[in-house]
Amino acid sequence: MRMRVIVVGGVAAGPKVAAKVMRLNPEADVTVIERGESLSYAGCGMPYWLSGEVKELRDLMSTPAGVVRDAAFFQKVKGVRVLTGTEALEIDRARKRIRVRSKGREQDEWLEYDRLALATGAKPVVPPFADGRLGNVHTLHSLPDVERIQAWLARGGNRPVVVIGGGLIGLETTEALVQRGCSVTLVEALPRILQPLDEELSRLVENHLASHGVTVMTDARVTGLEGGETVQGVVTTRGRLPAELVLVAVGVRPNVELARAAGLAIGVTGGIRVDAGLRTSDPDIFAVGDCAETTNRVTGKPCYVPLGSTANKQGRVAAINLCGGNDCFPGVLGSTVCRVFDYCAARTGLTEAAAREHGYDVMTAIVPDFDRAHYMPGVGLIVLKLVADARTRKLLGAQAVGPGTGDKRIDVAAMAITAGMTVDDLANADLGYAPPYATAMDAILTAANVLRNKLDGLVAGISSTDVKRRLDAGEDFLFLDVRSPAEHQQERLPGTVLIPLGALRARLGELPRDKEIVAFCKASLRGYEAARILLGAGFPRVRMMDGGVAAWPFEKLR
């Protein structure tokens, strides 16, 4: 008898399961149930259609060859039956069947299965104040969402918009709205935006948003919306904001109601609990994509990281296993990348904060560097942060922010973490080099070497955020700028003493030996050299400020 496979969900993971099953078992009877009308669309591309960078909405639903992935495409090309406008209502595990309701039909229908894959995705978190009573209050989760926002934008004009939530969707949509001429205020309830980054790097992104005219309001909780038929204002704990459109982007939750009602186990993160083969607590039912819990590859603990990349990989693994194979999904590193105007913001593995929470003996390095030879056109700066375990010297995480090519370095770091490499291994990685693509010592190799120096005790570091807190608290230490006078005059940090590196040896007698000295330069290469000179001269308490002026995320003096 032909194996009957039902897939619930037709956006990302579900179509991947269905197509892979048919490639492995062309005789299978595969049915995809999708509540909406659109299939296999690129939800992550929606902000770029809003901005106009993607010209046609159909491009988000098409193959690279330009064929729309609709029900007819899946039937003719993949051999998969698709029921759009159909909702899965109940799973009868004992009789291995699922009850569905289709638009236009008066009676529900029971469909029988041998294997069932749940790809029910996630749903946006909608706070009580966004209860649907006011118009022009949207999430950005589906094609109907993006079409409604696009219709509003088509009216034109420099109108005020409030984006609630400083995560990936909030930032990507903020960029799109600014490019369409809107005045955008980004409101975040937490002390900073982009929580997947540590503070030093997320503040750099915040500054970059401000440089593009975005008002960033952190530590601000939205308490209500004002308006008649449509929204006119947003009330926050820090005041009222005018708004003719509000985007709510405060996160998503796994859509697990169908699984929970069927008695399937739900994990500690709220996603459907699965094993390494993506089987649920029922061995004939699999769960993939944004509805499923997964595992952090560094800590080995459950996590919930909804990403389209993860959904597609999981769909392949689940299809192999429900066809009788023995594949494994090992978990995720949380690798993400976001474009914020001309900045790249990316991360993989553990942040410093997360590594400390998990009990690691943490050592970090923050290193600004160029993404290609400094004399090449298009060269861009990247600020890299590496996180390592001081005991084992293994790389735990990496972050990148700046106009340079950061995603490439984060991909290298992701593979290094996956392989269990130490920072010593990474520092000697044989990466490709040519001036248009990289420096002779690539930025990530330089960052690894800085981290090795710190692990070896050659220098002690201090973060820019710690320096700023100490300055604000009035602590007594010497903040030593070893750049040139011209650099110091162009932009300088508060509370500094200037002694250029070339003059430092001759002027050691001017420096107090009873104070801690924190040395820095533009990127802290000269700051490191200064620290080594001071330590060699017997100064007892010396540090370099990680990242120097290039990674200083606070106000500078000019």
- Mind telling me the catalytic residues? 44
Return contacts of 153-156, CB within 8 angstroms, 24+ apart: 153/50, 153/177, 153/180, 153/182, 156/181
DSSP line for 266-302: B-TTSSBP--TT-B-SSTTEEE-GGGB-EEBTTT--E
Strands 231-236 and 222-227: antiparallel
For the chain, give the longest Cα–Cα distance: 91
- Please, what's the b/e burial string for 139-169 (b: 16 or more CB within 10 A of its CB; e: otherwise)? bbbbbebbebbbebbeeeeebbbbbbbbbbb
CB 514 within 8 A of CB 529: no
Classify burial at 40, counting beta carbons within 10 Å of its beta carbon; exposed 0-12, middle 13-18, buried 19 or more. Answer: buried
Distance CA 253, CA 270 (A): 8
CB 529 within 8 A of CB 504: no
Residue 66 region, left (φ>0) first, then alpha (ψ -120 to 50), else beta? left
- Cα–Cα nearest to 167, from 240, 252, 41: 252
Q: How many residues does the chain have?
A: 558
CB 18 within 8 A of CB 78: yes
Q: What is the DSSP letter of 312?
A: H
C-alpha 161, offset from chain centre: 23
CB 380 within 8 A of CB 394: no
Classify burial at 351, counting beta carbons within 10 Å of its beta carbon; exposed 0-12, middle 13-18, buried 19 or more. Answer: buried
CB 216 within 8 A of CB 210: yes
Classify burial at 84, counting beta carbons within 10 Å of its beta carbon; exposed 0-12, middle 13-18, buried 19 or more. Answer: middle
Two structure tokens written together for 159:
């109108």
SS3 of 316-381: the string is HHHHHHHCCCCCCCCCECCCEEEEECCEEEEEEECCHHHHHHCCCCEEEEEEEEECCCCCCCCCCE
Kindly compute the dihedral angle of the four CA atoms of residues 521, 525, 528, 534, in this order, to the nearest 10 degrees.
-60
CB 418 within 8 A of CB 403: no
